A and B are shown apart, each in its own frame.
Chain A
Amino acid sequence: MVDAVGKSVSPPGGLECEVGLLYRMHAQGLYRYAGLLNPDGGAAQDALQEAFLRYCKARSQGRTITNPKAWLFRVLRNLSLDAVKASGARPEVALDRVPERCARGADPESAYHRAELLAQARAALAPRELECIRLRAEGMPYEEIAEVLEISIGTVSALVTRAHKKLQGVLASEGRTAHFRLMPQGSPYAP
């Protein structure tokens, strides 16, 4: 909006509209990302709210934020890592929660097996590799991922490639091991 003098003025409630739009667009993705950094769901929600509040404060103090999405993800990341550090918890997903839902494929045995392997693959990934593929899944280009993690674009690319290699290494045994699992214990054909 522009007034008579040509100076830019924000419309009444402009900031609330802006924040409302950003919240609807990114809250879900930010929450997923916070859940990755801090498995405590309550803490993830707190971090999400605090990131948006900080955004409101910064904007109402007149700061310009050129890329709100990357800004929010970066602030959320720092808040979550601080909270994890303060609580002394480990920022890794508990492995005992793992194969609870695995609807892929008609064969429950191989679906269960895939879920198990995915959990193994996930455990094999370094936290930053996991963060990269999470942010990638949120539709971020490498430039934005680099901005959030405060690393170079080349490093983002290396992390994604390495994550995929690890994933392949674990999932390569998918068909074969599923077969072995069906055999009775002590079978002479077992490896």
Chain B
Amino acid sequence: MHLDDATLIAWCDRRLTPARSVRVSRHVERCARCRTAADRINRDFRDVLESPPSPPLPDLDEGLAAVLWAAREWQAASRPRAALERRVTADLETYLGAEVAAMVAERAAERGGGLIATARCLLSACLGQDACRALLESSGAGQETGWEAARP
């Protein structure tokens, strides 16, 4: 009796129940043909992945250094922005209520558009452009919203 390929794959990939796995292991230990079959399965998988061969990553150290550098840049750039966003959120809470502030924050997180841009978009629709601009400018976020560029 020999094992079929599906069983051998499941055995290689540790998908069998412990009891079954022990039985299969015992069989494979004794049976040269099933041992060869299991080796062939893994060899075929490996060879098909390497046909064509996958090139190695050019430079590991350089790549890591680039990631860490980009992360530091991002952290430095996001620090003042994070402070500004906290200030805008606090002002929204004060003037429009915690519910509105939370709604703006949630929407910004979901859409990924940035808190201030989201606030600008939502609030100009319900408060009108002028009131919205005045509010954001008083929080120090006038330039962040693009009002400056929009002025004639």
| 8 A Cβ contacts from B16-60 to A | 41, 44-49, 51-58, 60
Residues of A within 8 A of B10 (CB): 157
Contact assessment for A48 and B63 in the assembled complex, using a CB-CB cutoff below 8 Å? yes
A104 to B6 alpha-carbon distance, docked (Å): 26
Of the candidates B53, B63, B66, B71, the one whose C-beta lies within 8 Å of that of A60 is B71
Q: Nearest A residue to B52 by beta-carbon distance?
A: A97
Contact assessment for B71 and A53 in the assembled complex, using a CB-CB cutoff below 8 Å? yes
Contact assessment for A137 and B71 in the assembled complex, using a CB-CB cutoff below 8 Å? no
Q: Could you tell me how many residues of chain B have their Cβ less than 8 Å away from some Cβ of chain A?
A: 32
Q: SS class of chain B's interface: helix, strand, loop or mixed?
A: helix
Contact assessment for A53 and B67 in the assembled complex, using a CB-CB cutoff below 8 Å? yes
A28 to B58 alpha-carbon distance, docked (Å): 10
Q: Does A77 contact B (CB under 8 A)?
A: no
Contact assessment for A167 and B55 in the assembled complex, using a CB-CB cutoff below 8 Å? no
Q: Does A70 contact B (CB under 8 A)?
A: no
**Given A24-B60, A142-B13, A134–B49 Cβ distance below 8 Å?**
yes
**Given A100-B52, A136-B13, A31–B57 Cβ distance below 8 Å?**
yes
Residues of B within 8 A of A114 (CB): 47
Q: Does B149 contact A (CB under 8 A)?
A: no
Residues of A within 8 A of B131 (CB): none
Contact assessment for A93 and B52 in the assembled complex, using a CB-CB cutoff below 8 Å? yes
A135 to B46 alpha-carbon distance, docked (Å): 11
**Given A28-B56, A56-B74, A137-B49, A157–B67 Cβ distance below 8 Å?**
no
Name, among A56, A101, A141, the residue most crowded by chain B CB atoms within 10 Å (CB to CB): A56
Which of A1-9, A83-91, A116-124, A183-191 lies on the face that meets chain B? A116-124
Distance in Å from the Cβ of A128 to the closest Cβ of chain B? 14
Contact assessment for A45 and B57 in the assembled complex, using a CB-CB cutoff below 8 Å? yes
What class of interface size applies to chain A in its complex with B?
35 or more
Contact assessment for B55 and A35 in the assembled complex, using a CB-CB cutoff below 8 Å? yes
Contact assessment for A60 and B44 in the assembled complex, using a CB-CB cutoff below 8 Å? no
Of the candidates A93, A133, A157, the one whose C-beta lies within 8 Å of that of B45 is A133
Q: Nearest A residue to B57 by beta-carbon distance?
A: A31
Extra 9 A-B pairs, beta carbons < 8 Å, given A20-B68, A122-B51:
A16-B71, A49-B70, A97-B52, A101-B52, A118-B47, A122-B48, A133-B45, A136-B45, A137-B45
**Which 10 A/B pairs are nearest by Cβ-Cβ distance?**
A56-B71, A118-B51, A31-B57, A52-B67, A23-B64, A32-B54, A97-B52, A133-B45, A118-B48, A122-B48
Could you show 13 A-B contacts with beta carbons less than 8 Å apart? A16-B71, A24-B60, A24-B64, A27-B57, A56-B67, A56-B70, A100-B53, A115-B51, A118-B51, A133-B49, A161-B6, A161-B9, A167-B48
